[in-house]
């Protein structure tokens, strides 16, 4: 019997991953806790089944002699010590692209919400100010997504899904990435490859789809914002760390940008987070959701199915899918 130590609630597993494979014993570990506590709670584990933002550090990995697989339920794995796992012959796997369509849908949702100032309108109407907001929108106006120039920073699985959705809206599309898309994809969706400077100069909307790496931390900052068009819409459904919070808050308060964010750093945020201390004008220009883009019911069911497949492969002595630590 393989022991699986799972860091999310049993209710979640029973709802979305109830068809657990035979030959596995699941035990549930409540987080957060110290590494010392984790070592004790993970004792005897063959598999750690964790969330994409759970810390699995070197000391924990080294203390588990039976460990064979660390499986992230989602796409993220940047909180896992990949080198330590590799040194101890432990596979680290994610579910790459499992929620690409879900996250892409949410990115488009945030674009539309920002263009229509949806969150503000909804809040004002529910506070009994229908007539006031009706008149305000007639004066200030709002715009359509179709015809907008949208720049994507990162065109992996999620970015490609966003491109397909926005192409249907009739958007003008351009992107930058460390790896260029194939020519066929660019031509099919009329997608222009360019650099940051042109994105900042020409795009009405900038949508970020990059992982957390040294070169992407703080990518949205005072200097990059200064190069962007006035009233540019910044969409972040990737990771909160790519945004400098203080700089974005200043740009929202000044009226330079509009933003739609599904992620924030750190998570969970403190009550005095810069984006929670905006002026009234700044608040109108920000739409937020609680890191929910990739967690649709449909995506969760796929995540469990793919994760269980990897567990079975490891149990049977086979190589799992979506290895991220080079084993």
Q: Rounded to an integer, what distance in angstroms lies between the CA atom of residue 259 and that of residue 261?
A: 6
Quick check: is 132 in a domain? yes
Instruction: Please identify which of the residues 106, 285, 291, 302 carries the catalytic annotation.
Output: 291
Instruction: Please identify which of the residues 239, 241, 285, 302 carries the catalytic annotation.
Output: 239
Region 178-183 average pLDDT: 96
Q: What is the pTM of this model?
A: 0.84
For residues 79 and 128, membership in a common domain is answered with no
Q: Rounded to an integer, what distance in angstroms lies between the CA atom of residue 75 and that of residue 51?
A: 9
Quick check: is 137 in a domain? yes
Write down the pLDDT at residue 69: 98
Instruction: Please identify which of the residues 25, 246, 267, 281 carries the catalytic annotation.
Output: 267
Q: Is the pLDDT of residue 270 over 90?
A: yes
Instruction: Assign 287 to helix, strand or coil.
Output: strand
Write down the pLDDT at residue 53: 83
Q: Which helix (H) or strand (E) holds 247?
A: helix 245-254
Quick check: is 325 in a domain? no
CATH, residue 51: 3.40.50.720
Quick check: is 326 in a domain? no
For residues 212 and 85, membership in a common domain is answered with no
For residues 109 and 249, membership in a common domain is answered with yes
Task: List the domain range (segments joined by +) for residue 14.
Answer: 2-97+297-315
For residues 113 and 84, membership in a common domain is answered with no
Write down the pLDDT at residue 229: 98
Q: Starting at the edge strand that comes first in sequence, how are the strands of the sheet with 191-193 ordered? A: 191-193, 172-176, 149-153, 205-208, 232-236, 257-261, 286-288
Q: Rounded to an integer, what distance in angstroms lies between the CA atom of residue 324 and that of residue 97?
A: 13
Instruction: Please report, for residues 99, 108, 144, 167, 222, the alpha-carbon distance to residue 261 in angstroms, rounded to integers and kept in the order given.
Output: 17, 12, 19, 22, 17
In tens, the pLDDT along 136-153 reads 999 988 999 999 999 999
Region 241-250 average pLDDT: 98
For residues 74 and 122, membership in a common domain is answered with no
In tens, the pLDDT along 7-62 reads 999 999 999 999 999 999 999 999 999 999 999 999 999 999 999 889 999 999 99
Quick check: is 323 in a domain? no
CA angle 104, 273, 248 (to 5 degrees): 55
Quick check: is 301 in a domain? yes
Instruction: Tally the domains of the chain.
Output: 2
For residues 308 and 280, membership in a common domain is answered with no
For residues 147 and 73, membership in a common domain is answered with no
Q: Which residues pair with 5 in a beta bridge?
A: 27, 48
For residues 131 and 256, membership in a common domain is answered with yes
For residues 187 and 60, membership in a common domain is answered with no
Q: Which helix (H) or strand (E) holds 308?
A: helix 297-315
Q: Which helix (H) or strand (E) holds 26?
A: strand 24-28
Q: Is the pLDDT of residue 174 over 90?
A: yes
Write down the pLDDT at residue 78: 87
For residues 106 and 87, membership in a common domain is answered with no
DSSP 256: S
Q: Rounded to an integer, what distance in angstroms lies between the CA atom of residue 124 and that of residue 77?
A: 39
291 assigned to active site: yes
For residues 160 and 222, membership in a common domain is answered with yes
Write down the pLDDT at residue 73: 94
For the chain, give the percent of residues with pLDDT over 70.
Answer: 100
DSSP string, 53-121: T--B-HHHHHT-TT--EEEESSS--TTB-HHHHHHTT-EEE--TTTTHHHHHHHHHHHHHHHHHTHHHH
Q: Which helix (H) or strand (E) holds 13?
A: helix 10-16
Write down the pLDDT at residue 36: 95
For residues 75 and 130, membership in a common domain is answered with no
Q: Is the pLDDT of residue 310 over 90?
A: yes
Quick check: is 320 in a domain? no
Mean pLDDT of the chain: 96
285 assigned to active site: no
The number of beta carbons lying within 10 Å of the beta carbon of residue 81 is: 21
Region 179-199 average pLDDT: 97
In tens, the pLDDT along 291-305 reads 999 999 999 999 999
In tens, the pLDDT along 85-143 reads 999 999 999 999 999 999 999 999 999 999 999 999 999 999 999 999 999 999 988 99
Quick check: is 158 in a domain? yes
């Amino acid at each position: 019997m393989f022991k699986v130590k799972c860091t999310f609630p049993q209710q979640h597993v029973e709802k979305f991953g109830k068809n657990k494979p035979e030959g596995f014993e699941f035990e549930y570990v409540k987080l957060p806790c110290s590494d010392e506590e984790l070592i004790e709670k993970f004792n005897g584990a063959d598999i750690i089944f964790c969330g994409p933002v759970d810390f699995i550090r070197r000391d924990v990995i080294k203390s588990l002699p039976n460990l064979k697989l660390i499986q992230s339920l989602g796409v993220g794995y940047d909180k896992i010590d990949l080198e330590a796992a590799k040194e101890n012959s432990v596979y680290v796997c994610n579910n790459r692209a499992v929620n690409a369509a879900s996250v892409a849908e949410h990115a488009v949702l945030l674009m539309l919400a920002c263009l229509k100032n949806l969150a503000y309108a909804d809040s004002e109407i529910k506070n009994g100010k229908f007539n006031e907001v009706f008149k305000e929108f007639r004066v200030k106006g709002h715009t359509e997504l179709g015809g907008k120039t949208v720049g994507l920073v990162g065109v992996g699985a999620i970015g490609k899904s966003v491109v397909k959705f926005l192409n249907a809206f009739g958007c003008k599309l351009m992107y930058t990435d460390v790896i260029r898309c194939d020519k066929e994809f660019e031509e099919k969706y009329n997608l222009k490859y360019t650099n940051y400077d042109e994105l900042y100069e020409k795009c009405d909307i900038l949508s970020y789809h990059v992982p957390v790496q040294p070169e992407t931390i703080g990518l949205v900052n005072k200097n990059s914002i200064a190069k962007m068009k006035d009233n540019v819409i910044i969409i972040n459904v990737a990771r909160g760390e790519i945004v400098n919070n203080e700089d974005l808050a200043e740009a929202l308060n000044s009226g330079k940008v509009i933003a739609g964010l599904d992620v924030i750093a750190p998570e969970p945020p403190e009550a005095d987070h810069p984006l929670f201390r905006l002026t009234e004008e700044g608040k109108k220009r920000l739409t937020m959701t609680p890191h929910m883009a990739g967690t649709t019911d449909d995506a969760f069911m796929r995540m469990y199915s793919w994760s269980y497949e990897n567990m079975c492969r490891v149990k049977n002595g086979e190589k799992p899918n979506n290895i991220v630590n080079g084993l």
